[in-house]
Structure formats: structure tokens, C-alpha cells
Amino acid sequence: MYSHLPATLLHLLLVLPSLGPNGAVSALPSLNFSGVSIPSLWNGDRRDAGWSSLFPHAASSHGFRVKRGSSASGSSSFEYDQNGTSFLWVIQDTYEGQSFFDRFGFYSDLDPTHYVNSSTAFSSGLAYVTNDNKVIMKGDNTTWLPQGTDRSSVRVSSYAQYNTGLFILDVDRAPWGCGVWPAFWTLGGGTWPYTGEIDIVEGVHDNQHNQVTWHTGENCSLTPSANFTGTVVQTNGQDNLDCYGNSNNNAGCGITEWSRASYGPTFDAQGGGVFAMKWDDEGIAVWSFYRAAVPADVVSGQPDPSGWPEPVAALDPAGCDPITNFVNHSIVFDITFCGDWAGNSYATSGCPGTCAERLMDPSNFVNASWIINSLKVYKKQIISGRVSGAISQLSSPSLSVLLGSTLLFAGLSLLGLVL
């Protein structure tokens, strides 16, 4: 009975006051009208004078959160950065199943551990994918060695490089044991440590607490007052706040998690879990979740870190620029035996004998395995855009219902008031 044109014009008239000088819309939270999910064109500061005044039931039932939100259909979640710009975390890369090793190179240079190349790793059963798509990487646990011989193991690095992102690793098991030093980390391209290193999962021996560490060039330090639940690592009673990789025996700046379920036998006994790292211009933060505590948004593939608890570790930009100090990072998995950390700390670890003696017996390394379900890397997708872009996000049915019902009635009401 009524043309859609007046409602369309009214919609645009309502939107124009919210535009910036360049015609940009600063945020697009979602609303639901009669089951149709649409993006709102009002920014957070205008929400009370905008949609909520016209449609109080819609506003009250879905709400507007300043730092995060979700679409009415629950299909996605959005956050706001420190500048008030809204964004989503959308999938960039997925590493899992049969194609996992296609996207990683095998490191086989000299090291205290005998890292093997890809052909040796696959032929000797140190790297493979199971029929149910579990990715396995392990140290040799079948070969007896003469004392002084390095045990074979695996180290892989992603071909892709990253400069920010949300990294979510889901594992059933992570390596541990006396003489074992595993890590899941990222490493910058170029000269170490000036392009940075981020150790997301790392530990030695039978430790039960994961350690997160950053190694950088000069002028980067850990801010102990930042919001995180872990404990700053110390050397000789002093907090390791200087992240410079070439100082303090390459210790970097580190934080130890408080949870016993973050590393070692307790983590594996819980069925593994998820490690997550968020890296953007607001800093670098790390979380760990044992299996029963993994957030639902992670399970659904729609991660929303703003709704998670405080991170276990965080590097604040006030002390370290997360963009300039960390450049072109590849993702690395490894299992080291003895080496600088596990070897040098062995005598005080409570483990039997010496690390060199430990390496001889393969049965000592039955727990030195990664069992990986997936590694997913998400990137920020800015939601803000111009009006034309915002309207184009609506499907034709959604636009028809929107303009033919809800906004039409709102338009008539407003026109009645004006006339």
C-alpha cells in the first residue's frame, strides 16, 4: 500500500547526522527486527537518541555494550578498540588435519637436539596426521642412544608471516617430562632479537605452570602493573622486566601462569585445552584454558576476547610497542631435549641423574608429543564504513522487510510529528 521510497529516504535522513566529516559511520552494532538481523547505523554515543528512542523494546532486549557486542542472530561478535572503532575477529588461516604440514617447513640446522628434515620426520613417525585428523609431532621414543648422542625431534615453522592477529591453538596434549623443553612460539624475520620473539607455551621437565616470554631489541619492557593474573619471572630475586634479548643471559621478560592446568601432566590429564594470543596495537596478551574451561565463542569459531577473563600474561604498549618490536612473525612448534634451559636447570629440577644420561633411554620420552586439533589465526575486520557500504551489507530480504515494515511505521510517526 505504501511505497518503500519514503522509508528509504527517511532511513538516510536518520543516518546523516551520525556521519563524520568524511561520511564514515563509526560503528555497526546489530539489532533484530522480527527475526531479521540487520546492522544499526548509529554509533555507541548516539544509541539512546537513535534506535532506542524509536524502538525501545529492541534496544532493551539486545542492548548495546561499549566494548563488545553480538549480532542478534548470534552469528558473530564485535568489539571496539581504544579509538571506538568496531571490528570483528574473522578467520585468516586454519592449520589442521591432512594439510597441516603443507604449510610448515622443517628446521634441521645444528642444535643440541637433532632436529630432522621432513622426509626423516615422516618416515620415522615423528610427524604425521591420524585418521581422525589429529596432528602429531613427537620426539624419538623408540631408539636407545649412546651417551653424548642427540635425540631426534621435530621443529617446524610456518611459511606464512604475521604482524598482528588472534592465534588460537587447540591441543589434546603438549610435551613434558624430565629433560624435555617444548615450545609453541612466534619468531620474527631478520636478526634476532630485533624483530621479536613471543613464547606462548614453554616449559621444562615436569613443571606444571606455563611460562610466557617476550624477547625484543632495546627499549622494550614489561609493565608489572598491567592487567594479568600470572607472576613476573625473576632472576636472583629481581623481576625480569627488560625484554632485551641480549641482556640477562637472554632471559627476556616473562610471566609464569598461576594454574597447574596450564602445562605438563595436569594439563594433559584434563584433556588438553586451548592457548590463545591476541596481538594488536593495544598490546600482546595470552590466555590458557583447560578443556572444560574453553569459552563457547572459541568452540563456535567466533572468538571474542573482550568477554574472556583477564589474560594470564600481557605486554602493555606503555612499555613496549607491539607493532615496531615484533615484525614478520612465523609460527613455530618444537620439542627440544636438554639445551640451554632444560640442560642448565636439570641439576636443580628434581629429575634423576644427568640430562645426558636421561637422553639415552627412549622410554623417558613417551610424553614428549604434541597432539594438535587445530591452530587458527584470526584477523581484525573493521565494521565501520560509509553509509553505502553499510547498507550494502543487508541482504535483499532483510532490506525489504526493514524498509517495508519497521522503518515505514517509524517514518510515518515522525512525519506525523513534523507535519
Q: Where in the sequence numbering do the catalytic residues fall?
A: 197, 202
Give the start-end residues of each E strand in 175-269: 180-188, 197-202, 211-215, 231-232, 234-235, 238-239, 253-256
Cell numbers that stand for 318 in this block: 606503555
- How far is the C-alpha of 407 from the C-alpha of 419, rounded, in Å? 18
Cell numbers that stand for 392 in this block: 550494502
What is the DSSP secondary-structure string of 93-154?
EEE-GGGGGGGEEEP-SS-SSEE--HHHHHHTTSEEE-TT--EEEE---S----TTPPPEE-
Instruction: Give counts: helices (H), strands (E), the chain.
Output: 11, 26
- How far is the C-alpha of 171 from the C-alpha of 374, rounded, in Å? 7
| Residues composing the chain | 419
Cell numbers that stand for 290 in this block: 583447560
- Strands 114-115 and 152-153 turn out to be parallel
Q: Is 21 exposed, middle or buried (0-12, 13-18, 19+ CB in 10 A)?
A: exposed
To which residue does cell 500500500 refer? 1
Q: What are the helix (H) ranges across 270-305?
A: 296-299
What is the DSSP secondary-structure string of 384-413?
-EEHHHHHHTS-HHHHHHIIIIIHHHHHHH
* CA gyration radius, the chain: 26
Q: What does each C-alpha distance from 246 to 29, 109, 193, 272, 342 come to in angstroms? A: 46, 22, 7, 34, 19
Question: Is 172 within 8 Å of 371 (Cβ atoms)?
Answer: yes
Cell numbers that stand for 260 in this block: 597447574
Cell numbers that stand for 229 in this block: 593474573
Cell numbers that stand for 148 in this block: 653424548
